[in-house]
Structure 1
Amino acid sequence: MLSNGAAHEGDRLKSIQRSVDSFTTNILDGLPMQRSWNCLELGAGAGSIAYWLAARCPGGRVVAVDLDTRHLDAGRATNLEIQEADVTHKDYAPGTFDLIHARYLFCHLPDRDEMITRAAGWLSPGGWLIVEEPYDLPAAHSPFPLVQRILTAYQHTYREHGADMTWARGLPALLARNALTEVAYAGNLGCMGGLEKDRWRPLIHRAAPTLLASGLITETDLTAFDELLKDPAFIDIPQMTISAWGRRPSDTPIPATPQDNVVHSA
């Protein structure tokens, strides 16, 4: 459903960047980043965070991996490497990366808890794992009946495609269970409406064919939703982003790993 080649996908990715990038980079800025760090951006999307990391770590390397890389530009930085791959089938040598970041990725993966464990193993001693995921608020709690219908269809559709949009609540505990320390977390409320702050128009447009196919909303609902978004007095909070991060202890030994299918840092 979220193929990068689908109509309006570029708009969806850019709307996410506009609304969430400053929250993400503020968290990254709070880490003791070094210019020499090797970084991994999982599910790089349209690349804004990968480009930011490449600029902050000019003496290091940034690997940006996505299932479909058509929205990524390898020419944006000399220390940027783009890899087109399914992250669930990708592996890296233990201790490869000083920083690993993922946003809006793990909730869509079938073995998301296991992927956190794998990603934690790719960290170098002292390295940081930062994971940011959506947490949907109950559709029925919206004060707007139309939004209740739209969000019910939206959340149902994502569940049908295997996503868990409430999984993020357990992220801090999951990082701690994977022996990461200095675990911390923050939340960023998502805005529906509010004119320039809204990022839901491209999200709903992108998902519209699948939402209509569910039978839970109609074309009339979608048209009415577009009109509602034009009302400067319309503001709702459908979702929040939960960001959680933790550090691999500096004294953790790097285990030996079989060499098959393992990518080593250059």
Structure 2
Amino acid sequence: MLRFYLRQTVSKDGGAEVLCSPAGLITESDCGPVRRKVLATGVLSRAVTIPASELQVYLNSLPRLLTEHHDITLSGTNSDIVYVKDFHGYGSLSFHANNLGDCVFTRGFTLKNCSAPVIMEKLKWELGSNIPYGESCVYCSTSEVMARECSFTGYVSPNGGQVGRAATTVNRGCCDLWDCKFHNFEMVINCFGAGHIDIIETELGGEYGGSKYGVFTDLGGVAMLSDKVPATLGSGGNVTRNGGVIIQGGKFI
């Protein structure tokens, strides 16, 4: 924090004189590096390879307001929640593994208040028995995430009940899931409070099965399914309420 003092004197003829301590002035050497970053026409790209267990530490070390393009290759297992919060700027965050199964998460990703887009590829989630009720592999609030060729698996309790969700969006969060696998969830996707989720299949296709509910939309949540996607995502059915909608092929379902 910078603190400096001003003394203002107003004369009878309406003129004003302001005296400012030089200690409160920012010099060119202070603001020049910041100005150059703000006015830069290109965005730097950085590529790293780290164990999944060290991802949170790495994210905590990054600047938030001038996000660059970060290409992060992950391997191994992470059994803690990953928080991705308040990343802004013209860059992006890309998390991927070289092969599906190289990187496994047993707890969820929480994304909040990020204007920089988040990209995921070939990551695998296998929720464990320690997850609390309602936990999602990907929880997205006021952010945008795109996942390609990822695998999401919920937890089946000893009594046979399914636990967890693959993806939840709230507060206008947006999530695109391309050619992904979904198995054994209480509900596969949850679009709540104007959250938006697209499930898209290309020629690669997806996998579905073993879930209690497929799509759950509430309070203006919107789910959009491409033509090849099963309408209930291989589950026992969908739920829509309070203005939530599910759209496939241009039609409400």
Higher helix share: 1
Higher relative contact order (CA 8 A, sep 6+): 1
Computing the radius of gyration over CA atoms, which structure comes out larger, 1 or 2? 2
Please say whether Structure 1 and Structure 2 have the same fold, judged by a TM-score greater than 0.5: no
Higher strand share: 2
Q: TM-score, normalised by structure 1?
A: 0.24
Q: TM-score, normalised by structure 2?
A: 0.25
